[in-house]
Chain A
Amino acid sequence: MMASLLSVIGGVLLVAGAAFLLLGGLGLVRMPDVFNRIQAGTKATTLGTLLSLAGIACLQPAWTLKLALIGLFILFTNPLSSQVLARAAHRAGADKSPLTAVDLLAKDQLADDPKGDRA
């Protein structure tokens, strides 16, 4: 009884995780520029992967501790890599969507270095 309940919960979690990953993929395709794509990619993969890990933990309770460690690594590294990508993209002058309302980072960099010749 307990085992079948766990496998149902595990299955639901896995489907939910997969659904968020799918939405993240859709976001990658639909978003207009690199920054918005990173936004879609980061959030969806983090929650999607965490839910999948939780689902696996329900199906294979013996693996719970290892899965929790993987989740912890993802929580720390996923946003970090996105931030580094976003910063690199901004420094490289990646195209911004024409919808972009403001860019205070570009404005401040211009104020610090009007000619833009700081390497």
Chain B
Amino acid sequence: MTWTRDLSMLFATLFGFWVLLNGSLAADVLLVGLITALIITLLFRNSLAVVSELRMTPRALMTTLGYVFFFARELVKSNLNLARIVLSPALPLNPGIVKVRTRLKSRMGRLLLANSITLTPGTLTVDIDGEWLYIHWVTVDSADIEVATAAIVSGFEEYLEVMYG
């Protein structure tokens, strides 16, 4: 049953964080952690979408790994790009807010997409309205929805679609 699976996942994650952050296996520390994790689990039982909405197939896990590498590369590119803009005396900007569309349906997929977009070259998610995302873009190449979607969303979407749908 997925409901018990979600609850035990949330509990295990919280307790895992507690143990790692405390770095101690003393009985009293563990006991406090157990109780706290249990209470939080019961209060927030619908909130661990990161894990519970992830598809637990080998393909999804492989894709997650690919996503991490792709994301790391984009993050570095993003910073070099920003460094280039900030350090050039003319400050070459062409900012604007464009609109893109995502095929992702799940909440978690959309959250990760919005976060990823914010951390990649020159783009910042400003608002989400259903399948539409409004993106602030430091150097607007095109305000056309199709072109902007291809440039900003498609790279991540390929991965996230397999991971979360």
Give chain A's interface residues, CB within 8 Å of chain B: 20, 23-24, 26-27, 30-33, 35-36, 38-40, 42-44, 46-47, 65-66, 69, 75-76, 78-80, 82-83, 86-87, 90, 96-97, 99-106, 108
B30, CB-defined interface residue at 8 Å:
no
Set of chain A residues within 8 Å of B86, measured between Cβ atoms: 23, 26-27, 30-31, 40
Given A23-B82, A101-B94, residue A86 in contact with residue B136 (CB < 8 A): yes
SS class of chain A's interface: helix, strand, loop or mixed?
helix
User: What 1/0 flags go to B50-81 for Cβ under 8 Å of A?
Assistant: 00000000000000000000000001101100
* Contact size range, B: 35 or more
A and B contact pairs by CB, cutoff 8 A, 27 listed: A20-B83, A23-B79, A23-B83, A26-B86, A26-B87, A30-B91, A35-B126, A35-B136, A36-B93, A38-B124, A39-B123, A39-B124, A66-B20, A66-B23, A69-B17, A69-B21, A76-B115, A78-B119, A79-B115, A86-B124, A97-B93, A99-B93, A101-B95, A101-B140, A102-B98, A103-B96, A103-B97
Query: Does B45 sit within 8 A of A, measured CB to CB?
Result: no
- The reply on B34 being an interface residue by CB < 8 A is no
Q: Are A69 and B20 in contact (CB under 8 A)?
A: yes
* Complex Cα gap A38–B118 (Å): 10
Any A CB within 8 A of the CB of B138:
yes
Majority secondary structure of chain B interface residues (helix, strand, loop or mixed): mixed
Distance of A53 Cα from B59 Cα, bound (Å): 30
With contacts A39-B82, A69-B17 taken as known, whether A97 is within 8 angstroms of B95 at the C-beta atoms is: yes
For residue A101, give the distance in angstroms from its CB to the closest CB of chain B.
4
B35 within 8 A of A: no
Cα distance A61–B112 in the bound complex, in angstroms: 30
Q: Please report the C-alpha to C-alpha distance between residue A81 and residue B130 in the assembled complex, in whole angstroms.
A: 20
CB distance from B122 to the nearest CB of A (A): 7
A24 CA / B82 CA spacing, docked (Å): 8
Least CB distance, A89 to chain B, in whole angstroms: 8
* Residue contact A82 to B95, C-beta cutoff 8 Å: no
Q: Tell me, in angstroms, the Cα distance from A26 to B83 when the chains sit together.
A: 9
